[in-house]
C-alpha cells in the first residue's frame, strides 16, 4: 500500500506580533504551512500572538539583537524559509534614537542572516521599504531608482536589505513595501488610512496636512502577505528586489473623500500645516514582480477601505 506523504513547509516569521507579520502568519497557517514566529514583544500585540498560537503557531520570544538566542531559535525551528519583518518602524523616533534603529534593523538583520546561513535556510524574504528611495527623482518609482534615504529609519532598512542580498547564501528577496494598510496597524505609528478611519468612525472629519495633493500608493496587507508567500515558495535562485505596491497614485484628498463617502458622513476634511520632510509624490512601478514572480495586488483600495471600516464599526 502506498502511503500518502504530505510535505509541510516550515517557515519562520520574525515580527510575528506586529501588524504585517501577524497577517502573514495567519495566511500561512490558513494555507497549511507550519509556522514558527519570533518577536521580542517590544512593540507588537501579545493577544494577537495568543490567537495565532491557538491556530498552530510556535512562538519564541527573542530579541533579534541577541545573536546567540537567534541562532538557538533557528536551530530549533530549522525552517525552509525565513520571512523577516521584525524592525523598529517609526521615522520620527529614528531621528531621536538612530543607534537603536541601527542595532535592531541592521545588526538584528545581520544576526538572522548569519544564523539562517548556519542552519541552511533556503529562502530569506526581507521586509524592506519604499523609504529606501528617499525623495523620488522620477515616477513611478522602479527598483533601479536611486536609493537615497532621508531618515535613519530609511537608512537602516537599506543597510538591512544590502546585508540580506549580499550575505544570504540561499535565494534572497527584498520586498520594498509602499504604504501598507489593514486591520491591526500599530496605532502609534499608524499610517494616514488608519488615522482617517478612526476619525470618521467617531463622526469627525479627517485632518489633511498641507494641500492634500500629495500622492501615495496604498497596498492592502493581505496582498502584501501574498507577495511574501509567493517569494517564500518560488523556485527562483539568486537575489531579487521587488516593489510591493499597486502602481496607482492616490492623492490624500481623494483618499479623504473616499473614506468620508464610505462612512456616509457629511463633513469636509480639515487642512493643517504641511509636515516638514513629507515626500510629495510616491508610487510604485510593479512591473518587475508581475513578470518575474507573477504577483499582483487583488484588493482595490475602495474594497480594502470598506473591509477596514466595517471592522472598526463592528468592534
- In the bound state with ligand NAD, the residue whose beta carbon lies nearer, of 33 and 220, is 220
In angstroms, the Cα distances linking 138 to 235, 251, 280, 290 are 32, 17, 12, 20
**308 interacts with ligand NAD by CB under 6 A:** no
Rounded-to-integer distance, Cα 262 and Cα 252, Å: 15
For residue 36, the Cα-to-chain-centroid distance in whole angstroms is 18
- The residues near 137 (Cβ < 8 Å, ≥ 6 apart) are 145, 146
**164 interacts with ligand NAD by CB under 6 A:** no
> Per-residue x/- marks for ligand NAD, 207-246, CB under 6 A?
----------------------------------------
Length of the chain: 315
**89 interacts with ligand NAD by CB under 6 A:** yes
* Interface region with ligand NAD, contact rule CB under 6 A, candidates 136-144, 173-181, 234-242, 281-289: 173-181
* Interface region with ligand NAD, contact rule CB under 6 A, candidates 34-42, 144-152, 229-237, 275-283: 34-42
**10 interacts with ligand NAD by CB under 6 A:** no
* Interface region with ligand NAD, contact rule CB under 6 A, candidates 38-46, 226-234, 257-265, 269-277: 38-46
Q: Where are the alpha helices (DSSP H) in 31-121?
A: 46-54, 67-77, 91-96, 98-102, 108-119
In angstroms, the Cα distances linking 38 to 28, 77, 117, 277 are 15, 10, 17, 33
* Interface region with ligand NAD, contact rule CB under 6 A, candidates 27-35, 58-66, 144-152, 193-201: 58-66
* Single residue of 37, 43, 57, 164 touching ligand NAD by CB under 6 A: 43
Tell me which of 126, 153, 220, 283 is the catalytic residue: 153
* Single residue of 13, 52, 64, 113 touching ligand NAD by CB under 6 A: 64
**197 interacts with ligand NAD by CB under 6 A:** no
* Single residue of 77, 106, 141, 177 touching ligand NAD by CB under 6 A: 177
Burial environment of residue 6 by CB neighbours within 10 A (0 to 12, 13 to 18, 19 or more): exposed
Q: Residue 181: helix, strand or coil by DSSP? A: strand
8 Å CB contact between 222 and 23: yes
8 Å CB contact between 217 and 301: no
8 Å CB contact between 175 and 234: no
Cβ 237 to ligand NAD shortest distance, Å: 24
* Single residue of 13, 17, 60, 83 touching ligand NAD by CB under 6 A: 17
153 is catalytic: yes
- The residues near 155 (Cβ < 8 Å, ≥ 6 apart) are 149
**289 interacts with ligand NAD by CB under 6 A:** no
Burial environment of residue 163 by CB neighbours within 10 A (0 to 12, 13 to 18, 19 or more): buried
Q: Which residues of the shown chain bind ligand NAD in the complex (CB under 6 A)?
A: 15, 17-21, 39-44, 63-65, 85-89, 104, 108, 127, 129, 157, 177, 179-180, 186, 191
Residues annotated as catalytic are 153
Amino acid at each position: 500500500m502506498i502511503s500518502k506523504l504530505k510535505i509541510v513547509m516550515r517557515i519562520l516569521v520574525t515580527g510575528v506580533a506586529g501588524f504585517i507579520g501577524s497577517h502573514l502568519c495567519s495566511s500561512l497557517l490558513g494555507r497549511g504551512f507550519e509556522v514558527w514566529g519570533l518577536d521580542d514583544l517590544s512593540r507588537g500585540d501579545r493577544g494577537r500572538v495568543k490567537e495565532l498560537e491557538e491556530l498552530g503557531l510556535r512562538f519564541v520570544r527573542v530579541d533579534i539583537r541577541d545573536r546567540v538566542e537567534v541562532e538557538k531559535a533557528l536551530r530549533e525551528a530549522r525552517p525552509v524559509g525565513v520571512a523577516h519583518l521584525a524592525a523598529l518602524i517609526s521615522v520620527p523616533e529614528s531621528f531621536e534614537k538612530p543607534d537603536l534603529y541601527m542595532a535592531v534593523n541592521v545588526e538584528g538583520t545581520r544576526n538572522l542572516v548569519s544564523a539562517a546561513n548556519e542552519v541552511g535556510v533556503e529562502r530569506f524574504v526581507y521586509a524592506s521599504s519604499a523609504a529606501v528611495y528617499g525623495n523620488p527623482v522620477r515616477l513611478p518609482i522602479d527598483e533601479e531608482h536611486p536609493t537615497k534615504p532621508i531618515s535613519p529609519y530609511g537608512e537602516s532598512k537599506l543597510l538591512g536589505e544590502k546585508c540580506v542580498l549580499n550575505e544570504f547564501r540561499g535565494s534572497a528577496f527584498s520586498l520594498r513595501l509602499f504604504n501598507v494598510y489593514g486591520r491591526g496597524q500599530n496605532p502609534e505609528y499608524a499610517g494616514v488610512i488608519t488615522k482617517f478611519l478612526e476619525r470618521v468612525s467617531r463622526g469627525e472629519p479627517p485632518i489633511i496636512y498641507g494641500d492634500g495633493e500629495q500622492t501615495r500608493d496604498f497596498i492592502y496587507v493581505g496582498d502584501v502577505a501574498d507577495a511574501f508567500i509567493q517569494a517564500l515558495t518560488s523556485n527562483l535562485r539568486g537575489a531579487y528586489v521587488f516593489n510591493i505596491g499597486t502602481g496607482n497614485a492616490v492623492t490624500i484628498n481623494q483618499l479623504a473623500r473616499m473614506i468620508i463617502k464610505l462612512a456616509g458622513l457629511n463633513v469636509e476634511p480639515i487642512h493643517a500645516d504641511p509636515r516638514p520632510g513629507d515626500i510629495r509624490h510616491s508610487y510604485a512601478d510593479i512591473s518587475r514582480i508581475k513578470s518575474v514572480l507573477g504577483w499582483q495586488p487583488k484588493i482595490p483600495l475602495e474594497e480594502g477601505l470598506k473591509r477596514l471600516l466595517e471592522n472598526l464599526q463592528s468592534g
